[in-house]
Structure 1
Amino acid sequence: MEEKTFKIPNISCGHCTAAIRNELTELAGVVQVDGNPGEKTVTVQWEAPATEAGILARLKEINYPPAG
């Protein structure tokens, strides 16, 4: 299992993190998504067939691209 925390500047509230969680958990292999609106971060845990590239692509697609 892999885990990474993404810094997402577009997060402004709990609704943003809920939207991200809903979208990412639709990806096969994504196990858990925890958002922190105060720090503007989302921590994602995943296993195959999910990939970091796939998660990044979905975040960009839903207008929550990670910083850096």
Structure 2
Amino acid sequence: MSTASYTVVGMTCGHCVTAVTEEVSGLPGVTDVSVDLDSGGLTVTSDTPVGDDDVRAAVEEAGYEVAGR
């Protein structure tokens, strides 16, 4: 089991959270996604490590950015 944390920039509402959750959940191996609107926190749990570039691409596909990576 692997867990990684990120900060998502640009989310402003529940729809934003849903969009990020759906995109990141679709990555191979991901078993759980937790998104906090207030902090922008994104926690990804997976069976095996998921690449930062893959998470970044999924977040960008949802229309947002990952900060600081």
- TM class by smaller structure: 0.7 to 0.9
Secondary structure of the residue aligned to 1:28 is coil
Moved more, 48-57 or 2-11: 48-57
Gaps of 5+ in 2: none
Quote the residue 2:54 is aligned against: 54
Whether contact under 8 Å (1:12, 1:40) holds in the other structure is: no
Q: Which amino acid aligns with 1:45?
A: T
In the superposition, the TM-score normalised over structure 2's length comes to: 0.79
Task: Flag the 1:50–1:5 CA change in 2: closer, same or farther, 3 A.
Answer: closer
Q: Identity over the aligned pairs, expressed in percent? A: 28
CA shift for structure 1 position 13: 1.5
1:24-48 Cα offsets, whole Å, 9 max, x none, are 1111101111111111111111233
CA contact (8 A) 1:30 1:45 kept: yes
Residue of structure 1 equivalent to 2:40: 40
Aligned residues: 68
Aligned runs of 1:1-68 on 2, under 5 Å?
Answer: 1-48=1-48, 50-68=50-68
Runs of 4+ aligned residues of structure 1 deviating over 3 Å after TM superposition are none
1:49 is displaced (CA, Å) by 7.0
Structure showing the higher strand proportion among its residues: 2
